Amino acid sequence: MEATTTPNFTQPALRDFEALSRRDSAGMQACYADDAVVDLVPVGVLRGAAEIKEFFDGLFAAIPDLETTYEIAAASDNTVAVEWRMRGTHTGGAFQDIEPTGKSVEFRGIDVMRIENDRIAHNTAYYDAMDFSRQLGMMPARESGAEKAMIKAFNASTKLRSRFASR
């Protein structure tokens, strides 16, 4: 009987996260197919390995002490899910047009990657952008007076728009 080998689809995902943990955007780029798509659910879609590298260059510049830890949560056929946690301080450059706040952030998420030809072809990344925004200081703290005032103002505006729409 001839031995067969089954591709290990977790390897490209592990290489990507190992490069991410080293803040090595070129190493990450090498893990992705040239025409890869990354859907960062809270942010938008990145198309192509070069655009993916550019995004992470910006993240690493904005949070120069970024630490990433990860675990393989599940792998099935050519799909790999990686649970991760990031932490660091926004002391570098602007990120997504947000000037450095000096605030520490710690957030977690999960990436679901489809592997083709030993590279990542598609990645959908989920994380709580509201929590990230709160930690940066862009949104008020949960249950704070500022949050309650913001919700009250939003609801008043919604009611006013509804009244005008019904006329």
Each residue of 1-58: pLDDT tens digit? 555 445 688 999 999 999 999 999 999 999 999 999 999 999 999 999 999 999 999 9
What 3-state class would DSSP assign to 100?
Answer: coil
Mean pLDDT of the chain: 93
The hierarchical CATH code for the domain 10-136 is 3.10.450.50
The model carries a pTM of: 0.85
Q: Is beta strand 32-40 parallel, antiparallel or unpaired with respect to 119-127?
A: parallel
Answer whether 92's CB lies under 8 Å from 63's CB: yes
Give domain limits for the chain.
10-136, 143-167
> In this predicted model, which residue has the larger pLDDT, 73 or 28?
28
At residue 5, the pLDDT reads: 47
At residue 6, the pLDDT reads: 52
At residue 164, the pLDDT reads: 86
